[in-house]
Structure 1
Amino acid sequence: MGFFIVDLHRQIEQLYKKQYAGATATDTFTVYRGQGLSVGDFEQLLKIKGGLISFNNFLSTSNNRNISLDFAQRATINPDQVGVLFIMKINPALSTAPFASIAGISNFQGEDKVLISMHSVFRIQDIKQMDGNDRLFEVNLTLTADNDPELSSLTDYIRQESFPDSEGRYRLGMVLWKMGQFDKAENIYQVLLDKTTDDNDQTTLHGQLGSIKKDQEKYHEALTLHEKSLDTCQKTLPPNHPSLATSYICLGLVHSKMCNYPKALSYYEKALKIKQQSLPPNHLSLASSYYDIGLVYRKMSNYSKARTFYERAIQIGEQSLPSNHPDLQKWRNNFEDVKNR
């Protein structure tokens, strides 16, 4: 599947270069896409109006508004969905993602279809109810420009969090893991683990395998692997090394999933102590630890403690993240949930 995705992306890039070479702002055009969103997803969309949205799939769009609207209207038949007509304005001279007209090769004749590559980022300009129907909306989007300052800030942050120095097989394993291809990712990491005698590599690979088992809800196996990772760290690293903090966090997360909240809290606090010794007080990694601890206190029904740690996370996030960053929004939503408890 991964090779198919890469090949499709490259074909779109090639068509984009042929079709839009030398394009200017006067070549700006509008396409449409009608679909259903779950009620929860639509509520999240409303919260980030004016901000950025990224689609994690290839987008098939049409120049025919009525055909797209029909798809949105059909979605309202499902009581658990909201029909959405996306109206997408695209300036080919400024776009950050490749797209291409596939009118000549599409099975759907009579309409010009534009295929937009996955992970395209749009700004949400407006959200409006249609025809007085509270389950049918139009959402106006603009494909972001390369010089969008908010997109640049967000991209820099994500790049720092995405293991930029990882080697090819590690990166492939991560991609497969994020795609939910757990068995394939596990096979890659296991091969790498069997071949290495390096303590640092073993620590990382045991941790990655443990995280895969956690995502598969195989929590006892995950604990075993993360404990192996921690054991190697403790034997080879000083007691305040950042890798120890990572192992503590992973163990805390698994214990939290297993509802072993005192254990989870203990590991999270150990990780926080290391970070406080080695990082500036406004570092985003500290914000993540404050949020993790707040989440455990919330699950233990200690709402006053939860509020305290959520507030610390938000204070750091507001200094370092775009205002519509999903982590910051999540922290704020959780704080509001415990605010008056």
Structure 2
Amino acid sequence: MGFFVRDLHRQIEQLYTQMNIGDSLIVYRGQGIIHSEFQKLKKSQAGLLSFNNFLSTSTDRQVAALYAESASQNPDLIGILFQMEIDPTVSTAPFVSLDNISHFGDQEKEILFSTHTIFRIGKMEQVQDHVWIINLILTKDDDVQLMCLTRHMRKMTQQPTAIHRLGSLMIKMGEFNKAKEIYTTLLERTSDNDRQQRAQVYHQLGFINAAGGELTSALSHYQQSLKIYLTYMASDDPQLSPTFSNTGSVFKQQGDLERALQYFEHALYIDLHSPQSNRLKIATDYNNIGGVLHDKDPSHRGNLAKYNIQPNCPEGI
């Protein structure tokens, strides 16, 4: 699946460079969205909208309108006809015509955009019961708001790519399903040779799983992250402290207190010996260890300040 996503993205980019596109065009997409998501869209007018998956559109308004009208028959949905203005002279977002590729030939006059294409939300108009037209404008490469948002997200999340930053923002907003979708897509598009990015993505997926109570998946992703990190990092590298600590938290929630203690201890060892000491992280490490010791023996009154931390990396990674 990962190979398919990466290959499709590359094909779209390659075909886009070969297309002779000079004039602006308008494409359409009809779909249904739930009422709560529609209210969010209305409140976001003039803001930015990102489509996380490959985006299928049509140059035929009637074809797209059929999908919107069909969706409006479901009382739980609002039928939306997106009308998208594309100016290829000011944006390099890749897309391709599927007239000669699609199973439907040129019947649907399909235009496919690559993942994470970003639009600005324009005019919104209700045209009939439960059916709205929403105008979207493909963002310019030099869009001021997009550039400011990108800089802000880069500063806030300190992640290396736009998709990373979007995923981190979704986590901060509590949109864990969207974050999981973004990071799963990113993992599929990341080469096996890019160890750093794969390790980072596994860590983020572990965090998302843990937040959703999916402890088995969280543990698997955290350990996969550590396994990759340890192929090119020392086990006491300061960057690994959060992953060891988070893995310990999952073990604690699963009731495996011995393993939890091992991971919390190693996180503390890393933070105590880090060149840039962080008192808050060290205090958190001691608190985590104290919580495990209390769960093991509620009557425990040991002095954590004298707790003997050994520089041993937990086994079984």
Q: Which residue of 2 aligns with 1:123?
A: 120
2:47 pairs with 47, 51, 65, which one? Answer: 51
Q: Which residue of 1 aligns with 2:225?
A: 189
What residue identity is the alignment partner of 1:16?
A: Y
SS at match of 1:199: coil
Q: Which residue of 2 aligns with 1:17?
A: 17
Deviation of 1:46 after TM superposition, in Å, equals 0.7
Residue 90 (1) aligns with residue 86 (2): yes
Aligned-CA RMSD value = 3.7
Q: 1:243 to 1:192 in 2, by over 3 A?
A: farther
SS at match of 1:104: coil
- Contact 2:52 / 2:116 at 8 angstroms: preserved in 1? yes
Residue 29 (1) aligns with residue 31 (2): no
- Contact 1:31 / 1:62 at 8 angstroms: preserved in 2? yes
What residue identity is the alignment partner of 2:194?
A: G
Deviation of 1:210 after TM superposition, in Å, equals 6.0
Deviation of 1:30 after TM superposition, in Å, equals 0.4
What residue identity is the alignment partner of 1:91?
A: D
- The percent identity for this pair of structures is 34
Residue 65 (1) aligns with residue 61 (2): yes
Query: Within 1, Cα distance between the matches of 2:219 and 2:195?
Result: 15
What residue identity is the alignment partner of 1:9?
A: H
Q: Which residue of 2 aligns with 1:171?
A: 197
Q: 1:144 to 1:194 in 2, by over 3 A?
A: closer
SS at match of 2:53: coil
Flag structure 2 segments of 5+ consecutive residues without an equivalent: 165-192, 210-216, 292-317
Q: Which protein has the larger Cα radius of gyration, Structure 1 or Structure 2? A: 2
Deviation of 1:155 after TM superposition, in Å, equals 1.6
Q: 1:189 to 1:66 in 2, by over 3 A?
A: same
SS at match of 2:225: helix
1:184-243 deviation per Cα after TM superposition (whole angstroms, max 9, x unaligned): 7445314236655431244143146468x59xx967679938744652344224896288
Residue 206 (1) aligns with residue 201 (2): no
Residue 144 (1) aligns with residue 144 (2): no
TM-score (norm 2): 0.65
TM-score (norm 1): 0.60
- Contact 1:202 / 1:229 at 8 angstroms: preserved in 2? no
Alignment of structure 1 residues 98-137 onto 2, 5 Å: 98-109=94-105, 110-131=107-128, 133=129, 135-137=130-132
1:246-270 deviation per Cα after TM superposition (whole angstroms, max 9, x unaligned): 968xx8xxx9xxxxxxxxxxxxxxx
Query: Within 2, Cα distance between the matches of 1:7 and 1:246?
Result: 46
Query: Within 2, Cα distance between the matches of 1:246 and 1:38?
Result: 44
Deviation of 1:7 after TM superposition, in Å, equals 1.2
